Amino acid sequence: MSEPDTHDDHHTPPEDIVVRVKALENLLLEKGLIDLQAMDELIDQYEHKIGPHIGARVVAKAWVDQSFKTRLLADTDAALLEVGAPKNQGEHMVALENTPSVHNVVVCTLCSCYPWGVLGLPPVWYKSEPYRSRIVKNPRDVLSEFGFVVDADKEVRVWDSTAELRYMVIPMRPPGTAGWPEQKLAQLVSRDSMIGVSEALPASFAADSRVP
């Protein structure tokens, strides 16, 4: 990834990131500031338990349950409490509904704010400068690179997460899914559709799409 250190103005060898992290961890352990068991638990939670499947469940429920959807849009925090979504980095949530006339897409241009509670940790592209710099200025170009061409007469609404509010997109329900149960609908709700760089997956993506 990084270029070899070619500077000749000092004699320290190139820093190995692995050594640097291990050194920091050892130092903090010696000082009694960290607990390794708690760290392992936190890693396990975000690597294996908290992820976009939580948001997908929320969206699928909103698709089938109109009163939940109304609550989700009016008071997102209260509605997420009903489904037991984790709150860390999602303490103050706002759900954004895509409609035939409005498409929502979320970014954090200044750092990488992201609704961890419903989507887990963000993908690298979301945190990287190319997405952060371009989505605010040329959203339609960026969306088309993700394979999603937005009609010219539709509003693209870009949300730059500059404060402690965290945003999630409720994509439109795909056609051909009438009568589907929540669990099956949730298979169509991709992470990208809840960031807003794509639509929900078509009905044919569900594992048992031919069986209603």
Partner 1 sequence: MNSIHDCGGIDGLGTIVPESAEPVFHAEWERRVFALLWALGFNGFWNLDEFRHAIERMPATEYLQTSYYEHWLHAMETLLVEKRIASANDLSAARDRAVPTVKVANASAPMNLPAVANLIVNGFPSKIEDDRAAAFKVGDHVIAKNLNSLGHTRLPRYARGKYGVIERGYGVFPFPDKNAHGGSATEHVYLVRFSAQEIWGREASSRDTLRLDLWEPHMELSR
Q: Is 159 in the site for partner 1 (CB under 8 A)?
A: yes
Q: Is 33 in the site for partner 1 (CB under 8 A)?
A: yes
Pick the binder of partner 1 from 5, 14, 82, 88 (CB under 8 A): 88
Pick the binder of partner 1 from 64, 68, 73, 121 (CB under 8 A): 121
Tell me how far, at minimum, the Cβ of 64 lies from partner 1, in Å. 26
CB 63 within 8 A of CB 187: no
Site string for partner 1, 91-110 (x = CB under 8 A): xx--------------x-xx
Q: Write the DSSP string, 69-134.
A: HHHHHH-HHHHHHHTT---TT-SSEEEEE--SSEEEEEE-SSS----HHHH-SPPHHHHSHHHHHH
Pick the binder of partner 1 from 14, 155, 181, 205 (CB under 8 A): 155
Residues within window 35-64 making contact with partner 1, judged by CB under 8 A: 35-43, 45-47, 50-51
* Integer Cα distance of 30 and 157 in angstroms: 49
Residue 102: how many CB atoms within 10 A of its CB? 12
Q: Is 157 in the site for partner 1 (CB under 8 A)?
A: yes
User: Residue 197: helix, strand or coil by DSSP?
Assistant: coil
**So which residues are the catalytic ones?**
108, 111-113
Choice between 64 and 172, CB closer to partner 1: 172
